[in-house]
Structure 1
Amino acid sequence: MKRLLLAAAALLAALALAGTLRLPDFAHAGDPAASDTIVVNGVGSIRVVPDEAGLSFGVESRGATAKAALTANGNAMRDVIAALREARAGDITTQYVSVWPVSEEGSTISGYSASNTVSATIGIARAGDLVDAATAAGANDVSGPELSRSDADRVFRQALAAAVANARSRADALAKAAGRSLGAITRISEGGETPVPYASAASAADTGTPIVPGKQETSATVSVTFDLR
C-alpha cells in the first residue's frame, strides 16, 4: 500500500511539471476584467415653495395655588384650542403641560405658574390668520413656523431621479475621457435627504400676521456603479 501511494504521488508531480495538470477556474478570479466598473456619486436638488406651516401655541397662567393656576390655564387653553379648530387647523396635539412654584426674593413661594402648549398645522396662506386667532383667544407664547411640503415624499423622489441622472452624466464624461462607454447600472445606494430653506420674493397674506414661506431645497445623493465597455 505504501508503494502505491508513493507511485501516485510521483505521477502527480510528473504531470504538474509537464504542464498537463490544469488549475481550477477559481484561481483566475483576480482577473482585472472581472472588476471593470466605475463608481460615481450623484447629487440632485429640487427647490419648492412650502405649502404647510407648523406652529406651537402656549398659555401661561398664574394662581395662588397649583390647582388654581392649572384651572385658569386649562380654561384659557380650551379657548385657544377652540379657536384653532374654528380656523380649521390640523394635527392639534398637546406638547406638554407643566406647573411650578413662583418665588419672590428669598425662598418664599408667592404663587404658582402653569403652562400648556399645543402644536398645529395649517396651509401656509392661512398661517398668519391662525396666529392672530390663537393670540386673540388667549395664547401668550407662540413659536414657529416649521415650514414643510404636504407632498414631501414626491419631491424627494424627484431629487433622487435628478441625482441618478447627475451620476450618469458624470460617469459618461469619465468613461468617454478614458475611451470607454457606459454599460448597465449594477448597483445604486441612496444617501440622505437635506431640506434647506432659501429666501424668496413670495408675498405674504394681505391681512393677519405676515408669514413669508420662501423656498426649500431638497437634495438627495446617490452612489451608482456602472459597467464599462
Structure 2
Amino acid sequence: MGKRTVQVALLAATMVAAGWFGATKLGADQAMAETTGAVQAASIQNAVTVGAEGSIKVEPDVAYLSFGVDARGKTAQEAQQASAAKFAAVEKALYETYKIDKKDVQTTNFGVQPEYNYTEKEGQVLKGYLATHSVRVAYRDLAGIGKLLDAVSAAGANRVDGVQFGTEKQDQYELEALKKAMTNAGAKASVLATSASRTLGPVINIVQGSAANVPIVTATFDQVKAAASSAAGFSSSVQSGQIEISASVTVQYQLK
C-alpha cells in the first residue's frame, strides 16, 4: 500500500512538473514572438521604401508585318476558293522569292462569313460571302520591308493591317532596364535618407514589377497603301523610332 502511494505521488509530481515546464515554454514562446514583433516594428520604423523605374531605348531588330487576302463569292465555297488561289500566290512570294522561313509566318485569321444588303422593302438580303485569310510575318531585313510589301500586294494581298517593330533580345534588354531601376531606387533612397539626417543602410527587401515593352507601330493601312508604289519611301519610314523597354522595382532600405 505504501509503495502504491509513492507511485501516485511521483506521477502527480511529474504531471505538475510537465505542466510547469509547458507553461514556462509557452511563456517563452510568447515572449519571443513579442520580441520578434517589436524588432520587426522597429525595423520598419528604421527603413525607407522607394519605387523606381529604369528604361532603355534600343533599335528594333525585327518587324512584324500584318496583311491578308480578302475574296468574295456568291457562295461560301466560291469565296474560299478565290481566297485560296490568291493566297497561294502570296505564299509563293514569301517562301520562294523572299526565302522566308515558314516558322516566321503565322495565320492570325481565317474564315468565311456571309455579307448582307439591307433595304426597307426587303429587309436583310444575302449578297454573297467574304473569305478572309490574314497572316503575321516576322521579317528581319528592315530596309527591305517596302519591297516585300510591294511583292505580296502584287501577288494578291489586298489588305495591309500595319507594321509593328520589336526586338528578339527582350531578356537581355530587360536585365539592363532592371539595373537602371535599381540604380534609380538607390538614388531616391539616398536623397530621402540624407534629407532625414539619416544614413542609408543595406537593402532589406526587393520586389520586382512587371517589365514593359513598348513596340513601335509605324505604318497603318492608309500609310502602307500610300507608300506601296515607292519602296524607298516606305523604307525610310520603317527605319525610324526606337523601342522602349522598362522595368520597375520596389526596394526597402535600412536607415541608420
* Cα RMSD for the two superposed structures: 3.1
Match of 2:126 among 71, 86, 109: 109
Match of 1:172 among 185, 190, 207: 190
Matches within 5 A, 1:120-199: 120-123=137-140, 124-196=142-214
- Counterparts of 1:114 and 1:152 in 2: how far apart (Å)? 36
TM value normalised by structure 1: 0.78
Which consecutive unaligned segments of at least 5 residues does structure 2 have?
Answer: 1-8, 10-29, 219-229
The percentage of aligned residue pairs carrying the same residue is 34
The question of whether the paired residues in 2 share the 8 Å contact of 1:199 and 1:215 is answered with no
Which range is displaced more, 126-135 or 154-163? 126-135
Q: Indicate the residue corresponding to 2:227 in structure 1.
A: none
- 1:221 is aligned to 2:228: no
The question of whether the paired residues in 2 share the 8 Å contact of 1:88 and 1:122 is answered with no
Matches within 5 A, 1:1-229: 24-29=31-36, 30-31=38-39, 33-35=42-44, 36-85=46-95, 86-90=97-101, 91-104=104-117, 106=122, 107-123=124-140, 124-196=142-214, 207=232, 209-210=234-235, 211-212=237-238, 213-229=240-256
TM value normalised by structure 2: 0.70
- Counterparts of 1:110 and 1:163 in 2: how far apart (Å)? 58
CA displacement at 1:199 relative to structure 2: 10
Which consecutive unaligned segments of at least 5 residues does structure 1 have?
Answer: 2-22
CA displacement at 1:104 relative to structure 2: 4.5
Distance verdict in 2 for CA 1:208–1:77, change over 3 Å: farther
The question of whether the paired residues in 2 share the 8 Å contact of 1:38 and 1:226 is answered with yes
Q: Secondary structure at the match of 1:217?
A: strand
More helix by share: 2
The question of whether the paired residues in 1 share the 8 Å contact of 2:150 and 2:231 is answered with no
Distance verdict in 2 for CA 1:97–1:215, change over 3 Å: same
Which range is displaced more, 119-128 or 100-109? 100-109
Q: Secondary structure at the match of 2:194?
A: helix
- Counterparts of 2:125 and 2:114 in 1: how far apart (Å)? 10
- Kindly tell me the number of residue pairs found equivalent between the two proteins: 209
CA displacement at 1:188 relative to structure 2: 0.8
Q: Secondary structure at the match of 2:60?
A: coil
- Counterparts of 2:86 and 2:231 in 1: how far apart (Å)? 29
Which range is displaced more, 41-50 or 124-133? 124-133
Distance verdict in 2 for CA 1:164–1:88, change over 3 Å: farther
Paired residue type of 1:41: G
Paired residue type of 1:46: I
Q: Secondary structure at the match of 1:192?
A: coil
Distance verdict in 2 for CA 1:190–1:27, change over 3 Å: closer
Which range is displaced more, 106-115 or 173-182? 106-115
